Amino acid sequence: MPALPADMATPHAAAQSWSFRVPSPPRIIVPPPVLNSHGVPDLHVVQDGSYDFESSGFKNAEFLQTVTYGNFMTINNMLEWKYEQRRMAQQVLPFLYLGPMSAAKDRDFLQREGITMVIAVRNTMSAQAKLLTSKAVQELGINTRMIDVTGNQELIAAFPRAIEAINSHLSAMYQQDQVRPAQAATTGQVHLRSTPGKVLVFCESGNERSATLVTAYIMAMYATDLIKAIQIVQAQRFAVAFDDSLRNLLLTYETILKAKRDVVQADNRSLGVPGGVRDPSASVESDNGARKGSKRTFDDTYDDDMEVDGGNVHLDYGRFEMRDGSAPFQDRPMV
């Protein structure tokens, strides 16, 4: 008996056309920012007075409400961007700069802008070769922090310690500036000029790893969503390049931040805080005792999650409600 043709060997056929590529998440499209009446991108970094810094996971960040001077609008360099600017650093926030390795080696830039700390985001191979180091930074006595990763996927684990390093440095500089008037009065000297902390974040090009870190900082400290944070960074440094992997990494980080905020707000609501947002003037220590006693037991969590209806455990039917019910295969017509 002759063999059936390959397409007739089975009684079933694919209901849709198949693709044989590796599955990938949907692309994240970042649209151009909305223009205001003057034709300028309308991008504002908003420091909301009611924002609970505790929910960001960085307990020493309340001082940002003072050092950022409230709300401010970014400079929006994208309309006047010149190709040569890719070799320079740009100011993204009043205290945060983004640029390439060449900016960290530019002594004039470091002195002119008053950079007090640099953060190098580099590959571990570059670290072993002692690359991305700056002689000018060392000679000027500028604080240095290295963030070494073997690949872009490790950036998400590096975000918290990099953000904490930035905040700790800014906080220390802010505290120093607060005691200077008292020191001047004690010594009889003229009050020293204020030198607020300023941080330069850089990588080889200033367009990928360091840009991703600066974007993550804005997302964490200003409760900004992924799309707007990328637009803000790109408005200052038009050369940044967020490929699909970096965008999805930032999307994952956004999910983590939202989960942290939800947990903190739920804990605050259990303490009777209106809206789940704690008063920034309230001390964190005063809540520690109540927080320790408010932890839920496993049995409480299990009872809340498992809904019983008529003796049957309610299953997760919601995941299937929006499916169209199309089958992957269909019967071949009989010839």
What is the pTM (predicted TM-score) of this model? 0.74
The confidence score (pLDDT) of residue 219 equals: 92
- Count other Cβ atoms within 10 Å, centred on residue 214: 30
Between CA 213 and CA 158 the distance in angstroms is 9
Alpha carbon separation from 272 to 22, 204, 269, 276 (Å, rounded) = 49, 49, 5, 8
Q: Report long-range pairs for 108-114 (Cβ below 8 Å, ≥24 apart).
A: 110/136, 110/137, 110/140, 110/142, 110/200, 111/140, 113/89, 113/198, 113/200, 114/195, 114/196, 114/198
Give 119's DSSP letter. Answer: E
Mean pLDDT in order along the chain per 10 residues (335 residues): 54 77 83 77 65 63 62 63 93 93 95 95 78 84 93 93 92 80 61 73 95 95 90 92 95 92 82 61 45 50 50 53 70 74
The confidence score (pLDDT) of residue 139 equals: 92
CB within 8 A of 94, min separation 6: which ones?
67, 68, 69, 72
Between CA 321 and CA 196 the distance in angstroms is 55
Between CA 313 and CA 307 the distance in angstroms is 6
The confidence score (pLDDT) of residue 60 equals: 59
The confidence score (pLDDT) of residue 187 equals: 61
The confidence score (pLDDT) of residue 254 equals: 95
The confidence score (pLDDT) of residue 146 equals: 93
The confidence score (pLDDT) of residue 283 equals: 43
> Are 87 and 69 spatial neighbours (Cβ–Cβ below 8 Å)?
no
Alpha carbon separation from 102 to 122, 127, 142, 191, 205 (Å, rounded) = 14, 17, 16, 35, 9
The confidence score (pLDDT) of residue 284 equals: 39
Between CA 159 and CA 241 the distance in angstroms is 18
Between CA 96 and CA 117 the distance in angstroms is 10
The confidence score (pLDDT) of residue 97 equals: 96
Between CA 136 and CA 212 the distance in angstroms is 25
